[in-house]
Structure 1
Amino acid sequence: MSSRDRDALLAEAVRLRADGRPEEARERLLALTAEFPDDAEVAYQTAWVHDVLGLEAEAVPYYERCLRDTALAAEDRRGALLGLGSTYRVLGRYGRAVETLRRGVAEFPDDGALRTFLSMALFNTDEHHEAMRILLELLASTSDDRSVQSYRRAIEHYAKDLHETM
């Protein structure tokens, strides 16, 4: 199969997933994965479609495969780290979720979704203080709510230590 055929089939599979036809997308992606087992982008899209279908355990090896490749586009890498971390969390593999999501936050520190999912995984590992800190800092820095913004400094201050009083 030529790279042009690969590109066309991959685009078609992504379109099918986006159009709400994930089973058809999965069939095409599995065929592409068999043809291009080392292709990071194909592995990422295959992982994603498995997640969409609720087949989280089947998604994991594809996420892991695509993240081994340094050639994966930054936006896809961000999505793969979020997807894998979230998938580990859904599967009850909380330590792996935290590890993966921490790596994602380290690589993409301004990504609020990664920080949000990290806070959920931290909650699951009984790291409540850090989970709350992350969420409060995210709320203070991203909320457009005027009342939140009027207390932004206090929220950021308490995010560091919720046990502290002024």
Structure 2
Amino acid sequence: MSTTEDDRLHETRRELLDLAARNPDDARVQYRAACVHDRLGLEAEAVPFYERCLAATAPGLPDEDRRGALLGLGSTYRVLGQYARAVETLRRGVAEYPDDGGLRTFLAMALYNTGGHHEAMGILLDLLATTSEDPSVRQYRRSIGLYAKDLDSTV
């Protein structure tokens, strides 16, 4: 990040802190404040903003921002070493947005951190089988998908 970009982010952060304090129930403002803190590497400071934006009822976040907030909060918990909270948040995200590959990938990483290697591998194999355009993966898509459901199978 260049000095100019860094300066702009810090200025944006100051503005969003003020705006968030004046509008604690505005989910979009809270989400923007969370994002700028994350971007600046201030993960611990981002958490309350993520939590507030996800707790807001009306008006809530548009779907794309809600996905981003769930992924951002889960990832932030993971960075902070709060692995169980990361798994809980990312599971919630995957439940709401089951086709979101980013949420599924970050859930797999958090599961890895909690010792859930088997489930993490299954998630990643399923993601690979369903999204890869690599011809050598596509050729084995069916088998990979079956292993994703039962890693101990001999298909």
Is TM > 0.5 for Structure 1 vs Structure 2? yes
User: Out of 21, 24, 28, which is 1:41 matched to?
Assistant: 28
Q: Give how far 1:143 is off.
A: 0.5
Runs of 4+ in 1 over 3 A off after TM superposition: none
Question: Which of structures 1 and 2 has the larger relative contact order (alpha carbons within 8 angstroms, sep 6+)?
Answer: 2
Tell me the residue number matched to 1:157. 146
Task: Report the count of equivalent residues.
Answer: 148
Structure 1 position 127 matched with structure 2 position 129: no
Query: Counterparts of 1:75 and 1:159 in 2: how far apart (Å)?
Result: 27
35-44 or 79-88, larger mean C-alpha shift: 35-44
Letter of the 2:37 counterpart: H
Structure 1 position 31 matched with structure 2 position 21: no
Tell me the residue number matched to 1:13. none
Deviation digits for residues 48-70 of structure 1 (CA, Å, limit 9, x no counterpart): 10000110000000000000013
Deviation digits for residues 95-129 of structure 1 (CA, Å, limit 9, x no counterpart): 00000000000001110000000000000010001
User: Out of 51, 56, 78, which is 1:89 matched to?
Assistant: 78
Q: Give how far 1:163 is off.
A: 2.0
110-119 or 152-161, larger mean C-alpha shift: 152-161
Tell me the residue number matched to 1:50. 37
95-104 or 152-161, larger mean C-alpha shift: 152-161
Tell me the residue number matched to 1:62. 49
Q: TM-score, normalised by structure 2?
A: 0.92
Query: Counterparts of 1:65 and 1:38 in 2: how far apart (Å)?
Result: 7
> Secondary structure of 1:110's match?
coil
Structure 1 position 22 matched with structure 2 position 42: no
Query: Counterparts of 1:155 and 1:61 in 2: how far apart (Å)?
Result: 39
Query: Counterparts of 1:78 and 1:92 in 2: how far apart (Å)?
Result: 21
Deviation digits for residues 16-60 of structure 1 (CA, Å, limit 9, x no counterpart): xxx663111101101111221221110000001000011000000
34-43 or 51-60, larger mean C-alpha shift: 34-43
Letter of the 2:53 counterpart: C
Tell me the residue number matched to 2:97. 108
